[in-house]
Amino acid sequence: MTNHKYFFEKGGFKMDISMKHGAEKKSFRIMKPPKKAIIFMQQHIGTCNEPLVKKGERVLTGQKVGDAKGTMTVPVHSSVTGIVEDITKIYHPVSNRMETAVIVKREGKEEMESLPPVDLNDRKKIIELVREAGVVGMGGAAFPTHIKLASEGVNTFIVNAKESDPNLVCDVRLMIEKPEEIVKGIKLMAKALDVKRTIFATRTQEGEIPELERMMKAGGIEVRRVTPSYSVGSEKLLVRELMGKEVPCGKFPPDIGVAVNNVSTAYAVYRAAYLGEPLISRGLSFYTQNTGIDNLWFRTGTTVKELMGGMDEKISRYDRYILGSLMMGWATKDIQTPLLKYTSGLTAFTKKYARPYEKQLKCIRCGYCDSVCPVDIYPSLIMKADRESDVKALKRLHVEDCILCNLCSFVCPSHIRLTEHLFDGKDKLGNAD
């Protein structure tokens, strides 16, 4: 693991990442399948799925339980064998709305419904398989992977293994445990994209992932080490770092000939293609102040309560949780919240932890938020435009370029949650269009 104690950000800001030092040495602990799997229909960016099953119906592990028509859709699958106990609306921690979920009660001997084998030399068949497997971007964005793989005019494929978040090491651990599988997944994705150049971007130092590096070299994949910076983990900034190319405002990497996917996504593609397994399990980094970081492998739909119970943690000790990145994740107090396809981390806080945004003060116009913004927009002005619902100003200020890194909120001396306004601003601009 890198010896850096800090990541250095624009504006002279330093981010302490010492909490994850050494955690990559901890093997994945395989968690038991949940007694009840809560499968949200919405686990991707795009059209929400509709349930394909009915209450009382028996389903198999890997069976498709939700899907929708349209391009921006990705199906969801049951992570356990059992009976559909209910189909209901529950609170979704990411959308902040009540969303439809299929609740499957685990029952009987586990039976697997595998994906049908396809011709892995056929680009279109690979893309279709990735969609049917329900694979999304597993770095946190949850963008449908098959959409990226179907991009035309792409000449370079970047595998994002930066994992710059201060509390996450599950990607690095995966690189240590599953090097051959990751390389196979990367090659399939490169075949689907029909690219000649593949770059593997990592923050690890030379010799820390020797097996993976050896296989990358043998497979003609470039290994590039990136600047120790949190914000460079964003795909647009990663493209600029590695390629020296700027992704224009309102555009995406494929528009300039580059496709970016997370290393865990590559592993999910491998499991779909070679094991016939849809995306129903993944790794995450679990952190408490008492235990430090542990790497866990869990089934999707597992609740916070079940995961904590599997770790022999006393639920009563904790007050709230963050799903995913400490900087970009979603907070919840509900222990029945299920973990999703793109949940890369779980951090548990006791009541003694400070709540920095509980008592927000007025903006003092110090400009610190603007100085640390990695994409050079103005969070302070966007906040004002959002409060006034000024869509023209939001467009002029390029709110759509915000990567929701949360640095602006993190450094604000008035404890203002600027990211909330940036998120709302992006939503208002999108609805206006």
Query: Residue 209: which residues within 8 A CB-CB, separation 6 or more?
Result: 172, 175, 176, 179, 202
- Predicted local confidence at residue 265, as pLDDT: 98
- Spatial separation of the C-alpha atoms in residues 303 and 282, rounded to whole Å: 14
Residue 360 corresponds to which tokens in the numbers above?
């927000």
* CATH number of the domain residue 340 falls in: 3.10.20.90
Is residue 359, in this structure, part of any structural domain at all? no
Q: With H, G, I as helix, E, B as strand and everything else as coil, classify residue 258.
A: strand
> Is residue 342 located within the same domain as residue 376?
no
Residue 334 in domain:
yes
Compute, in degrees rounded to 10, the torsion defined by CA atoms 42, 44, 47, 48.
-10
In terms of Cα–Cα distance, which of 33, 15, 7, 69 is closest to 300?
33
What local confidence, expressed as pLDDT, does residue 19 receive? 85
* Residue 171 backbone dihedrals phi, psi, to 5 degrees: -65, -45
* Whether the Cβ atoms of residue 276 and residue 114 lie closer than 8 Å to each other: yes
* Residue-wise DSSP of 74-98: --EE-SS-EEEEEEEEEEETTTTEE
Distance of CA 177 to the CA centre of its chain: 20
Same domain, 136 and 192: yes
Q: What is the pLDDT of residue 3?
A: 54
| Residue 15: per-residue pLDDT | 79
User: Domain boundary at 275, 292, 317, which?
Assistant: 275
Q: Which residues contact 342 (CB under 8 A, 6 or more apart)?
A: 43, 136, 137, 138, 139, 140, 141, 142, 324
- Tell me the pTM: 0.94
How many alpha carbons lie under 13 Å from residue 153 in its C-beta half-sphere? 6
- Tokens coding 311: 């770790």
Q: How far apart are CA 299 and CA 34, in angstroms?
A: 7
Q: Is 345 helix (H, G, I), strand (E, B) or coil?
A: strand
- Same domain? For 224 and 134 the reply is yes
The whole-angstrom separation of Cα 173 and Cα 166 is 15
Please indicate, yes or no, if residue 77 is contained in any of the structural domains.
yes
DSSP letter, residue 71: S
Residues 253 and 288 in one domain: no
Can you tell me the distance from the alpha carbon of 327 to that of 229, in angstroms, rounded to the nearest whole number? 13
The secondary structure element, H or E, covering residue 348 is: strand 345-350
Whether residues 224 and 75 fall in one domain: no
DSSP 8-state code for residue 167: T
Residue 234's pLDDT is: 86
Q: Identify the domain boundary among 257, 275, 293.
A: 275
Within this chain, do residues 101 and 125 fall inside the same structural domain, yes or no? no
Residue 266 lies in a domain: yes
pLDDT in tens, the chain (433 residues): 445 666 767 766 777 888 888 899 999 999 999 999 999 999 999 999 999 999 999 999 999 999 999 889 999 999 999 999 999 999 998 888 899 999 999 999 999 999 999 999 999 999 999 999 999 999 888 999 999 999 999 999 999 999 888 899 999 999 999 999 999 999 999 999 999 999 999 988 888 899 999 999 999 999 999 877 888 778 999 999 999 999 998 889 999 999 999 999 999 999 999 999 999 999 999 999 888 999 999 999 999 999 998 888 888 889 899 999 988 888 899 999 999 999 999 999 988 876 777 889 999 999 999 999 999 999 999 999 999 999 999 999 999 999 999 999 999 999 999 999 999 999 899 888 6
Q: Of the residues 275, 302, 330, which one is the last residue of a structural domain?
A: 275
Q: What is the pLDDT of residue 11?
A: 67
Residues 74 and 214 in one domain: no
23 inside domain: no
pLDDT of residue 1: 46
- Pick the closest to residue 118 from 317, 325, 272, 346 (CA basis): 272
Can you give the pLDDT at residue 127?
97
Flag whether 28 is in a domain.
no
**Do residue 212 and residue 314 come from a single domain?**
no
- β strands within 93-129, DSSP E: 97-106
**Same structural domain for residues 270 and 122?**
yes
Count of structural domains, the chain: 4
Question: What pLDDT was estimated at residue 233?
Answer: 78
In CATH, what number is assigned to the domain containing residue 207?
A: 3.40.50.11540
**CB-based burial, 295-334: b 16+ in 10 Å, e otherwise:** bbbbbbbbbbebbbbbbebeeeebebbbbbbbbbbbebee
Examine residue 7 and state whether it is found in any structural domain, yes or no: no
Rounded CA gap, 114 and 129, in Å? 12
Same domain, yes or no, for 389 and 309? no
* Residue 224 and residue 243 in one domain: yes
CB 195 within 8 A of CB 157: yes
- Residues 256 and 239: beta-carbon distance below 8 Å: yes
| DSSP per-residue codes, 260-325 | EEEHHHHHHHHHHHHH---S-EEEEEEEETTTEEEEEEEETT-BHHHHHHHTT--GGGEEEEEES-
49 is a domain residue: yes
Could you tell me which residues are beta bridge partners of residue 243? none
Q: What is the pLDDT of residue 339?
A: 97
* Domain shared by 344 and 376, yes or no: no
Instruction: Give 96's contacts (C-beta < 8 A, 6+ positions apart).
Output: none
Q: Which two tokens stand for residue 317?
A: 């000790």
What is the DSSP code string of 178-240? Answer: -HHHHHHHHHHHHHHHT-SEEEEEE-SPTTSSHHHHHHHHHTT-EEEE--S-SGGGSHHHHHH
Q: How many Å is the maximal CA-CA distance in the chain?
A: 61
Domain span at 420: 368-432
